[in-house]
Structure 1
Amino acid sequence: MDYTSLISNLIKNGEGKRLVFLSQLRRDTVAKSVCALINEEGGDVLVGVDDDGEILGVSEGSTKVDVLSSYLNASIQPNAPISVSAVKYKKQDLIWISVWEGAQKPYSFLGQIYARGQEDTSKADKADISGFISQRRTSEFHWERQPLLGLELEDLSTQQVGDSIRLFEKKNLHLGFSNDIAAFLQYMGLYQHGHLTNAAAILYAKNPVRYLPQAKIRLTVYANEKSSDSFLYDRLYESNLFQNIQDIFAYIDVLFGRGSHIKGLKRNDQLKYPIVAVREGIMNALVHRDYTKVSSTVHISIYSNRMVVSNAGTLPEGLRIADLKREHTSILRNPDIARMCFVHDLIEMLGSGTQRMVKDCKSYGLPDPVWKEDHDHLVLEFPGLGIGEGVREGVNEGVNYVMVAGVSEGVNAELRKLIALIDATPGMNAKQLSSAIGKGHSTVERYLKILRENQLIEFRGAPKDGGYYILYLI
């Protein structure tokens, strides 16, 4: 992404309590500023900019990011919630460090605690430290950090926690957990005093709704412009956050279909919807929702003329609807959940996601997304992004390009044949399908199981006389 406008806005605002300019890349000076921001309200550090906002640049800044990131993570304790990146601005390299407010205050750099004033960084005094400790106690009573009694380590998806460990270690080369799930979760604040937290359940539990019914997500596709009992698809996603978003994103990709064009001898497939905007909008709803409301559910509703994403909880204090279309501070309601999503590259720590959404919608010829607050909910609408006839055709065309991860191209080819057959003759059972494609019954049963698990088909009716149907054409 081009960060020119974001950098310009930061520099225009000038240094303050949440923004630091550093003219030179000196690791200790950078670390002190980062440490201070973590202890306060978070913010940004721009290296290569002097106190007056003049651009000095950092020589070969892109080559220094990894070393600086490792140094900051190794020297600031507890683990620093930061993102370090090199950006090009006015033909100069700058290093941009985006910092989240810490949940485990006070943080220290090489044993010293730092605080941020209105325009300066200094060693924290007794009053500062007392305030940080008080804030930490408050954060420990935050919903995310509350212990979830009854949830044990064996109730978590070891595969998904293992994925997080590997991704985290890639970004923090000085750390190694040897796939020790308990040690990793404890380090991330998700396992405290022998108890897993609410956030751990949302992120990793195999069956989180058993403990937290608000973990579910509802996705409904309506046949027209209004909510009604007449819908094309309606499902509750009740797994953990990582599994849910994987399943939802896969379904939406198939729902809206993909187009293709020929360049030379190569076919290039392109999704027919603004994938960046839609995924960003859904991730925002899941990361920033108010999980304290037990009866709350994230709703994703797709109509003939629009798509709507609604989540419990209004904008955080200090952020307005008007701020969403311009560079703004990222204020987190659920920092533990957000941090793990950041580890998985599902979100950025910069307050630029909503701007990316606007840009992506425009690139597809769609109106800007619309945000509004409705009582105690935040509602995001994508006008013009609906399940119209063109999208239905795209879905049908998309059947020809279905690719299921984890199986060979040969199996995928057979799956596509099976989908096309079910699409053309809905209601066939496994025996009939086996006969039609000339494959053994056990092989076809295995293929059908793969298609069901990937939300492409479903079985309807009684076991003896029911049959299979394309799920997104209900």
Structure 2
Amino acid sequence: MYLEEIIEDIQLESDKFESKAVLNREDIIGWLKSIAGFANASGGDFYIGVEDKTNKLIGFDRKAADNERNYFNNQVNEHLTPRPQMKISFIGYKKNDKERFVIKVSIEESAVKPVILKYKNIPSIFMRRDGFTSGATYEEIIEMSVKSKNVQYDVLVSGVKYEPEKFLELSEFYKEHNKGKVLKEKALKSLGFVNEEGYLLNGAVLFLDNYKEKKTEVQCSVFSGFNKGSDRVVTINRFNGNITSTINYIVEFVNQRMNHGVIKLDNKRINIDSYPARALFEGVINAVAHRDYYLDGTQIQVDIFKDRLEISSPGGFYRGEKLGKTYDLSGVISKRRNELICGVLVVCNVMEAAGTGFDKIMEEYASADEAHKPYIYSKSDHFTLVLPDLTYDKGIENDGVIALNFVPVSEGTELDGKVLSFCYLKAHKVSEIAEYLGISDSTYFRKKVLNNLEKHGYLEKSKVSRAAYYKTNPDMVRVE
């Protein structure tokens, strides 16, 4: 029997058609590249259980067909990024009165291009043209990138079937933040948690109880001093889990390691924590909700220093303003990068339907002095929220962790970068700068370093009483 006998009006000569008798385990690239090529072009149909060129039906029994489908799915999930939009179906027929099946995979043109095939850590990009699949040209890759529709990672369909019993941790998280109410399946489906064929969207996969992949990776560290470069690392913990367990893990990590102190307010002694619970929680929620899940090999970074907490999330602000650094958190405008993930967090009552939650952080620090004000800085590949430690009297001492880019100073020294970084957020006296650098407050240092930086416009000098203060001119440097 032949394929055209069981499928009417099939276009066998079309460049959108390809078939394989079986999936070759020894040459995975040989057939995976066809899937990637269809997705990078205008889609196509891929049949398994049909002999190539002759279109003769080989077929599978029911169990073998299911195994072949599962193997196909596993290889696609492991080697193609992003996963192409596909519909997999079984086509049954009879041979010698026995039930047989071929597998039909309908691949749609990918909304996000290029689809990359990565095998043994070597990435390749393929294109389907004139009935054949081969490597994409440089011009084709550029065209794919330019024409690619800006579709969010979390709303693409995965190859994982929806099973309600595998979201117990999400249900518990919902109950905890909704006064014991039960999360209804209808609420999730109304968000688009699962498609019509019963497959989870990518964002839904990240909420699975057993999710342990790298997409949600977090690294939490504690440093003994003010920066990463010169101080002892006390703790480095790494965590992989679903989104709700990630949120709980970060909050618990910081809570266990923060300081507790007492301040006087209106002649009353008030107990305070390093970081207000509400501000910490909002910061973690924002890092998770607005993370760029396309960026493999990255992690949310949580760093506790002597004077501050930094929460960095992969990806700059999505379609928002390009920020260097700002204390005006309420003025930050950023559209949602992950509609489904944000929708689930809104339903769980841990994120507002409108706004970023930064207003709540501002409220928690409203009574703090200037040295204890939170701020955000952003690059194209990450954004960082900085929460000052309220139990540390001096406020933020050193933001040397903020790396700066600048044109080398004429007649400059190797100390220029450290000075500009130290003085970037607030002005410092000469003695403070020298102490930070670990050198003496000498005439040479003042003349060759500070005066030279001031002369060329990199430092701005001011006087308070008889003391000279230096602050970095933000127009001459750029935050990395």
Normalising by structure 2, we get a TM-score of 0.43
| Structure with the higher fraction of residues in strand conformation | 2
Tell me the TM-score normalized by structure 1.
Answer: 0.43
Rg larger for: 2
